[in-house]
Amino acid sequence: MSFALDALILATACTHVLLAPYTKVEESFNLHAVHDVLMYGVSPSSLSSYDHFVFPGAVPRTFIGSILLAWISKPAIYVAGSFGFVPSKFELQVIVRLVLASINALGLCLIRHGVSRRFGRPTGLYFTLITCTQFHIPFWMGRTLPNMLALFPVNLAAYLLVDRAPNTLKPSQRSITSSIALLVFSAVVFRAELAAFAGALILQYLYLGHLTLRRALTIGTMSTLASIALTVSVDSYLWGQPYLWPEYQSIYFNVVEGKSADWGTSPAHSYLTAHLPKLLLSALPLSLFAVFSSAPKRLISLIFPSAVLVGAMSAIGHKEWRFVVYVIPIWNVVAARGMSAMVSQRKSSLIGRVLFLGACSAILANLGATVLLTLAAMRNYPGGEAMAILNTLANANNTVNAAVNAHIGNLALQTGASLFTHVHAPPYPPFLASANASWVYDKTDNPDSAAYAKYTHVVGESAVPPAAGGGAFGFMSRKGGWTELGKVEAFERWVVDVKGKGEGEGEEGIGLVERVKGVVRMEERTRLWVLEKDLKS
């Protein structure tokens, strides 16, 4: 059973990667850093080819997670390449994401083992079911957000806190030291908001008498200095800037200067009323049931650090779910305790049967919501799909086999057109043969008309460009010899048809399955067009 549950967590994570293999712009820095480390290496002579010097972003980000992920992925990449499973560079992106998903799945498996040891095997089972039927952690744990690179050390720290015998009142000193060091490292290197999590954990240990003030200061100081030394050394070298601490620059830019507000602000209650319910789904009511029905003292120590993190992030105007995503596994542990309490009630009583039905309904509700969210997410990467059309169909209809010079528009870049989708342009891994013709994938923002005139293909947001003489796109008039290679539709919204007729409205003899499908249906809208200049003449 233990192996099956671990396999289920791993399979769930990898399935989400395969269902939605493309990426969004917020993943691009780390993904492109992995690409550059894999393709160019980290020698001084190779750094000038790195993408971050052309597209640096608002603030520098650390390379540490990207370098580690690239190096860990290399064995899997070369094994897959030796067996012919890597026909293009895009498969490298999938492999890297599968490796990251597997690493984060390992962290969840460790937590499950700790939960089974401390609270019993049934609770470990319920933790697995709750986690695998949620959407955000399984879907995002294979994506190269800084938060997902920090997720494994955070989950490893959570495992060290949970993993102890049922009758043990406190974790070992070794577990305390390691968990604090991991959280401090994650805060210094990856995500500064984890400082609130680490600080709350230290205060809790001090209050409970598990840790002395002197030892807390020693662990915190040594971990902080070692982490700063590591990130400054690595990132100063790769960014070409002396004494660079990326996460400090992020704090200064977003918090001190308040620039995060440029991306929008939300009310203080947003995490409690919007983000956490979406992240936790049925784990939220299950957690509340656990706190009020079982021994709360065993759970408060798990809840307190995550509650402090949520409270601290609520004080900042700009709010995103990923800033508090680390609390999900911990709250899932609490929710699993609640589900265990519900299922363990005597089934001979009405209350026992109702609670058992509620526990089953919670998992089904999770699963239903996750199916809808996953289906929508699969159709939310038009840039990646447009690049697949471009890479497959470009020059297929032209008698003149000219070199492809394609302009990739802003929306495409934001929704899947990563460097790994530049499959016909160097660099190439050693086991992958280079293309006969080297394509140009131009990501220039708002190029002028002279630049546009040189493009042979365009991935853009317009089906019918302006007429000749009407601006930068004037040369692209359909009368001037441009054809449509394809267009990409993407998710727009879910529509609920209470009548359940859907597209078959008014028709007689509609079957039950068709009626059910018509109750909730996905609406899509065309987002991108792939255009090709006619070179036949």
> Residue 173: is it exposed, middle or buried by C-beta count within 10 angstroms (0-12/13-18/19+)?
exposed
Residue 146: the pLDDT is: 96
- In whole angstroms, give the CA distance from residue 127 to residue 124: 5
Q: What is the pLDDT of residue 472?
A: 45
Q: What is the DSSP string of 71-109?
A: HHHHHHHHHHHHTT--SSTHHHHHHHHHHHHHHHHHHHH
524: left (phi over 0), alpha (psi -120 to 50) or beta: beta
Rounded Cα distance, 58 and 254, in Å: 10
- CB neighbour list of residue 375: distance below 8 Å, 6 or more residues apart: 522
**What's the CA gap between 393 and 69, in Å, rounded?**
32
Each residue's pLDDT tens digit, 273-294 = 999 999 999 999 999 999 888 6
Distance (Å, rounded) from C-alpha 205 to C-alpha 482? Answer: 68
User: pLDDT tens across 67-117, in order?
Assistant: 999 999 999 999 999 888 999 999 999 999 999 999 999 999 999 999 999
CA distance to 105, 189, 283, 314, 357, per residue, from 334 (Å): 19, 28, 8, 22, 19
Residues in the chain: 537
pLDDT of residue 537: 45
Q: Which residues pair with 369 in a beta bridge?
A: none
Tokens of 180: 């604090």
- The Cα–Cα gap between 35 and 33 comes to 5
Structure confidence at residue 295 (pLDDT): 64
For residue 501, what pLDDT is reported?
54
Residues 508, 527 contacting (CB under 8 angstroms)? no
Q: Tell me which residues of the chain have a pLDDT lower than 50.
A: 399, 466-479, 504, 537
CA distance 293 to 351: 13
